[in-house]
Structure 1
């Protein structure tokens, strides 16, 4: 994780969802020159997050919870965001 947007995302997710595991992976270099690449080096991310807040929550609702925690970042400041959200004890597939 590097950059100001990645750091801001980490702070927001930690405050809102209290994750037991959090990885924010900057995938922007993989999309250089593609649609949505704004040249900032912070346009595409993958978030891998594990939180007790996801216990008994559907995959769609987990995605919504992450997006809500990130406020205006997805769609306005970041072009693409892949989210892999799980509750503690779930397999790591996403």
Structure 2
């Protein structure tokens, strides 16, 4: 990725880092992605928030905002189980998860956990269709 584009996509405010990585590499942030970002910032005050729109890797129209992967690093997660952390993320995004967002992969870590492994996981490729169309039961 060209360094100019990376700098445009990397935003640092008050020691926090936010990065959007659309799978198309276009650098365009859609309204659903912007809303997800704003709600997670407000609810969790994350030190790191990485958000990737993975919709283009699925059987959806171009420009869709239906499949996301997010890494949220917040001190609010200290002492909470992974399930409790996911519940906090789900609560912040309840409207989006009830509507336009079909899939959300969540990495919810404490700052110490992120320092040990500061990477956003990669989703497996979409197989497309449903189990019935793939011939499995």
Question: Is the TM-score greater than 0.5?
Answer: yes
Quote the Cα distance in structure 2 between the aligned partners of 1:41 and 1:82. 16
Per-residue CA distance 1:32-69 (angstroms, 9 max, x = gap): x2xxx365510100011100000010001111100101
Q: How far did 1:71 drift?
A: 2.4
Question: Structure 1: where are the runs of 5+ without partners?
Answer: none
Choose the corresponding residue for 2:52, options 25, 35, 40: 25
Aligned length: 90
Question: Structure 2: where are the runs of 5+ without partners?
Answer: 1-19, 21-28, 122-137
The structure that has the greater radius of gyration is: 2
Say yes or no: does 1:9 pair with 2:36.
yes
What RMSD in Å do the two structures reach over aligned CA positions?
Answer: 1.7
Quote the Cα distance in structure 1 between the aligned partners of 2:61 and 2:44. 29
Whose relative contact order is higher, 1 or 2, with alpha carbons under 8 Å and at least 6 apart? 1
Q: SS state of the match for residue 41, structure 1?
A: coil
Choose the corresponding residue for 2:71, options 23, 45, 48: 48
TM-score by length of 1: 0.86
Quote the Cα distance in structure 2 between the aligned partners of 1:20 and 1:77. 26
